[in-house]
Amino acid sequence: MAKILSKVTEYAGRVPTALRSVDVMRKAGLVPLHRPDWMVHALVAIRQYGPIAGAAKVAAHRDHTRIGIVDELGPLTFHQLDARSNALVRAWAARGIGKDSVIALLARDHRGAVDTMCAIGKMGGRLLLMNTGFAKPQLADVAEREGVSAIVYDEEFTDLVSALPSDLPRFLSWVDSESTADRPVTLEELISSTEDRQVPVPRKPGSMVLLTSGTTGTPKGAPRQVRSPLAAAQFLDRIPLRVNETTMMAAPLFHGTGLSQFILSLALGSTVVLRRKFDPEESLRAIQDNKCTAVVVVPTMLQRIVDLPKDVLDSYDVSSVRIIFVAGSALAPDLGNRATAYFGDVIHNLYGSTEVAVATVATPEDWREAPGTVGKPPVGCRVVLYDDAGVKITTPHTVGRLFVGSDLSFEGYTDGRNKEVIDGLLSVGDVGHFDEHGRWFIDGRDDDMIVSGGENVFPGEVENLLVEHERILEAAVVGISDPEFGQRLKAYVVTASDAELDADAVREFVKSNLARYKVPREVVFLDELPRNATGKLLRGKLSELG
Question: Pairing mode, if any, of strands 207-211 and 67-71?
Answer: unpaired
Q: What percent of the chain is predicted at pLDDT more than 90?
A: 61
CA distances from 396 to 399, 403, 434, 439 (A): 9, 16, 5, 10
In a domain, 226, yes or no: no
31-85 pLDDT per residue, tens = 777 777 777 877 788 889 988 999 999 999 989 999 999 999 999 999 999 999 9
HSE-up of 508 (CA within 13 Å, CB side)? 5
In a domain, 519, yes or no: yes
The Cα–Cα gap between 125 and 493 comes to: 45
pLDDT of residue 516: 87
Q: Which residues contact 253 (CB under 8 A, 6 or more apart)?
A: 109, 113, 114, 117, 129, 259, 262, 274
301-352 pLDDT per residue, tens = 999 999 999 999 999 999 999 999 999 888 999 999 999 999 999 999 999 8
pLDDT of residue 217: 60
Give phi and psi for 398, each to the nearest 5: -105, 125
pLDDT of residue 107: 97
For residue 537, give the 3-state DSSP assignment. strand
Regions of the chain short of the pLDDT cut 70: 1-14, 213-217, 224-229, 411, 416, 418
Q: Taking a C-beta distance cutoff of 8 angstroms, is the pair 292, 273 a contact?
A: yes
pLDDT of residue 5: 43
pLDDT of residue 9: 44
In a domain, 314, yes or no: no
The Cα–Cα gap between 139 and 518 comes to: 39
pLDDT of residue 34: 73
Q: Which residues contact 257 (CB under 8 A, 6 or more apart)?
A: 251, 296, 298, 325, 327, 328, 350, 534
Q: Taking a C-beta distance cutoff of 8 angstroms, is the pair 119, 92 a contact?
A: yes
DSSP state of 365: H
In a domain, 244, yes or no: no
pLDDT of residue 12: 46
The Cα–Cα gap between 408 and 225 comes to: 7
In a domain, 120, yes or no: no
pLDDT of residue 188: 97
The Cα–Cα gap between 473 and 228 comes to: 42
In a domain, 537, yes or no: yes
Q: Within 10 A of 197 (CB to CB), how many other CB atoms are there? A: 8
- Structural domains counted in the chain: 1
In a domain, 523, yes or no: yes
Strands (E), 88-160: 102-106, 126-129, 150-154
Give phi and psi for 288, each to the nearest 5: -65, -50
Q: Which residues contact 176 (CB under 8 A, 6 or more apart)?
A: 154, 155, 156
For 508, the domain range is 450-545
In a domain, 179, yes or no: no
pLDDT of residue 227: 56
Give the CATH number of the domain where residue 473 resides: 3.30.300.30
pLDDT of residue 32: 74
Q: Taking a C-beta distance cutoff of 8 angstroms, is the pair 149, 273 a contact?
A: no
CA distances from 323 to 26, 270, 358, 379, 394 (A): 19, 14, 17, 19, 32
